[in-house]
Amino acid sequence: MLRQLEQSTGVPGGFIESDLVDPRYFSAANIKNRIESYLQMLEQKRKGVNA
């Protein structure tokens, strides 16, 4: 489904999986890093398309 959305919109999608219930498997820092990386990728793609 994610790939279909990417193809129809041209925007890269992202999927972050985490266990919010069990603190042993949750890392806010990890999620933050993944989101920041995703946003950087979007910015690079935007600059590449508009350059």
Residues 31-47 have pLDDT tens digits of 899 999 999 988 988 88
pLDDT at position 36 is 95
The answer to whether the CB of 37 falls within 8 A of the CB of 29 is no
Question: According to the model, what pLDDT value does residue 35 have?
Answer: 93
CA separation for the pair 51, 48 (Å, rounded): 5
- Tell me how crowded residue 14 is: count the other CB atoms within 10 A of its CB: 14
Note whether residue 8 is domain-resident. Answer: no
Number of domains in the chain: 1
Residues of the domain holding 36: 17-51
- Whether 3 maps to a domain, the answer reads no
Q: What is the largest CA-CA distance in the chain?
A: 44
pLDDT at position 51 is: 46
Confidence of residue 16 (pLDDT cuts 50, 70, 90): confident
Whether 41 is in a domain gets the answer: yes
The residues near 16 (Cβ < 8 Å, ≥ 6 apart) are 31, 34, 35
Residue 5 lies in a domain: no
